[in-house]
């Protein structure tokens, strides 16, 4: 069994949010060179994915913020350029649309087969064979094709995408096409054989082996997790029996152990852990907690997207209010929580003004008070340090906020 504190510390260690001696990840990745790219790759390999998101209102998109929070000195512009020819990542549908380590490409063969019928649009390739043939021929003969260059007229919403984009998406999900790179967040489609190395592409895993690979990788990033969290990590919806069979096989192999989490009231929550992480949790539990200067996390950070898990481990209600009308928001449009040590102590709603070189603080709310005053001086200092560190990383000057004394 694990206590909540043990599971929380383990989660932060596996997430790369404790000192490098506990995380096993690089100490930093300054600049834009090979060392920085390798450090970013190590973070991505730890989770098995780097979730992509289009929103850049806070001065950087989610995938870049995840890297900035773990790699002091990392160049924020590099976070947009990691998917390049020859780099060891590919883009696919993992947890969400994500950049994924190239070595996991074989594990997704089951999904490429499943997505021969598009999950939203059905047999759109079969319904528009001429469009599919034209796209294949154009990309084969003329090279990578950006989505903005596709023929046809689109609508104003996702569900009104022009047919060429829908067909290209279906060809990508089924494995005929691959995303070669992104420029200004625009995707370029290419033939899979020109993007994915032959030695990777030609050794697809069976669904059985793929499930084992992916569930082990999920535990690698989480430390301890419930069955539901492990399935959700890879969007294995309606796959409960297969997930349970896979976990039982991993138990038989000695790769995974059943492990309940016991909350302060003594109620257990069933879950899973790797044997080496159980040992790491015991070592972390003996460590005396130290102060932390504070760091801002993306709202889609790997430790935050599972709201039930965040509540269980951090007693923190992770809320995403992007889709709420402004009057209904409590915290703000795109809030970045502040991690101080092993506690989530506040959240900033930020808006970048590139032309002015500023990062506006629309709001800051502290846990324990529900308002702009911190519960303790330490919480306030962590929030200020987190904001300054992030603003420096995105090369903007924070404005519109002054730390108040604790209530």
Q: Which residue has the tokens 């008070």?
A: 369
According to DSSP, the residues that pair with 181 across neighbouring strands are: 188
Asked whether 76 and 393 are in contact (CB, 8 A), the reply is yes
Higher per-residue confidence, 263 vs 213 = 213
For position 161, what pLDDT does the model report? 64
Angle CA(332)–CA(48)–CA(198) in degrees, nearest 5?
135
Distance CA 283, CA 167 (A): 51
Distance CA 116, CA 124 (A): 9
Asked whether 118 and 168 are in contact (CB, 8 A), the reply is no
pLDDT-derived band of residue 405, with 50, 70 and 90 as boundaries? confident
Distance CA 109, CA 214 (A): 12
Which stretch of 28-32, 88-92, 326-330 has the lowest confidence by average pLDDT? 28-32
Distance CA 52, CA 230 (A): 19
Distance CA 260, CA 269 (A): 5
Residue 251: strand, helix, or coil? helix
Distance CA 321, CA 350 (A): 13
The sheet carrying 224-225 orders its strands as 224-225, 272-273, 257-258
For position 19, what pLDDT does the model report? 87
For position 158, what pLDDT does the model report? 47
pTM: 0.94
Residues 6+ apart with CB under 8 A from 313: 4, 7, 8, 11
Exposed, middle or buried, 366 (CB in 10 Å: 0-12/13-18/19+)? buried
Q: What is the mean pLDDT of the chain?
A: 93
Asked whether 95 and 134 are in contact (CB, 8 A), the reply is no
pLDDT-derived band of residue 291, with 50, 70 and 90 as boundaries? low
pLDDT at 188 over 50: yes
Tell me which residue of 397, 403, 349, 336 sits closest to 376, measured CA to CA.
403
For position 148, what pLDDT does the model report? 82
Q: Over the stretch 138-182, which tens digit does the pLDDT of each residue have?
A: 999 999 999 888 866 555 554 456 888 999 999 999 999 999 999
Pairing of strands 358-366, 343-353: antiparallel
CA-based R_g, the chain, Å: 22
For position 275, what pLDDT does the model report? 97
For position 143, what pLDDT does the model report? 96
CA atoms within 13 A on the CB side of 140: 7
Asked whether 121 and 168 are in contact (CB, 8 A), the reply is no
pLDDT-derived band of residue 290, with 50, 70 and 90 as boundaries? low
Asked whether 187 and 173 are in contact (CB, 8 A), the reply is no
Q: Over the stretch 56-113, which tens digit does the pLDDT of each residue have?
A: 999 999 999 999 999 999 999 999 999 998 899 999 999 899 999 999 999 999 999 9
pLDDT at 344 over 70: yes
Tell me which residue of 343, 339, 407 sits closest to 371, measured CA to CA.
407
According to DSSP, the residues that pair with 179 across neighbouring strands are: 189
pLDDT at 184 over 90: no
For position 152, what pLDDT does the model report? 62
The sheet carrying 145-146 orders its strands as 145-146, 186-191, 177-183
Q: Over the stretch 306-322, which tens digit does the pLDDT of each residue have?
A: 999 999 999 999 999 99
């Amino acid at each position: 069994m694990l206590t909540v504190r043990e599971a929380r510390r383990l989660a932060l260690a596996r997430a790369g949010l404790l000192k490098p001696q506990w995380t096993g990840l690089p100490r930093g990745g300054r600049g834009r060179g090979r060392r920085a790219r390798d450090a970013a790759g190590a973070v991505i390999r730890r989770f098995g994915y780097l979730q992509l998101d289009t929103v850049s209102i806070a001065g950087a998109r989610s995938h870049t913020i995840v890297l900035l929070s773990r790699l002091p000195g990392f160049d924020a512009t590099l976070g947009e350029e990691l998917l390049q020819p020859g780099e060891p990542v590919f883009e696919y549908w993992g947890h969400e649309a994500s950049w994924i380590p190239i070595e996991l490409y074989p594990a997704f063969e089951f999904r490429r087969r499943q997505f021969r019928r598009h999950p939203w649009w059905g047999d759109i390739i079969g319904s528009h064979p001429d469009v599919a043939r034209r796209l294949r021929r154009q990309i084969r003969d003329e090279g990578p094709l950006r989505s903005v260059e596709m023929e046809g007229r689109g609508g104003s919403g996702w569900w009104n995408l022009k047919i060429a984009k829908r067909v290209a998406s279906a060809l990508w999900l089924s494995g005929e096409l691959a995303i070669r790179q992104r420029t200004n967040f625009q995707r370029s489609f290419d033939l899979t054989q020109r993007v994915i190395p032959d030695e990777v592409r030609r050794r697809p895993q069976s669904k059985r082996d793929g499930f084992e690979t992916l569930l082990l990788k999920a535990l690698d990033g989480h430390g301890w997790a419930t069955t539901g969290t492990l399935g959700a990590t890879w969007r294995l919806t309606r796959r409960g029996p297969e997930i349970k069979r896979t976990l039982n096989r991993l138990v038989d192999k000695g790769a995974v152990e059943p492990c309940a989490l016991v909350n302060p009231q003594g109620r257990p929550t069933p879950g899973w852990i790797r044997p080496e992480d159980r040992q790491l949790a015991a070592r972390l539990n003996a460590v005396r907690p130290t102060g932390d200067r504070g760091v801002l996390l993306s709202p889609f950070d790997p430790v935050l997207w599972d709201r039930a898990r965040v509540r269980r481990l951090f007693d923190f209600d992770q809320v995403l209010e992007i889709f709420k009308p402004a009057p209904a928001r409590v915290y703000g449009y795109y809030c970045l929580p502040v991690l101080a040590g092993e506690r989530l102590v506040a959240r900033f709603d930020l808006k970048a003004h590139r032309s002015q070189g500023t990062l506006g603080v629309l709001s800051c709310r502290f846990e324990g008070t529900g308002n702009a005053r911190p519960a303790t001086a330490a919480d306030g200092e962590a929030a200020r340090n987190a904001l300054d560190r992030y603003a420096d990383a995105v090369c903007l000057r924070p404005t519109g906020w002054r730390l108040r004394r604790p209530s």
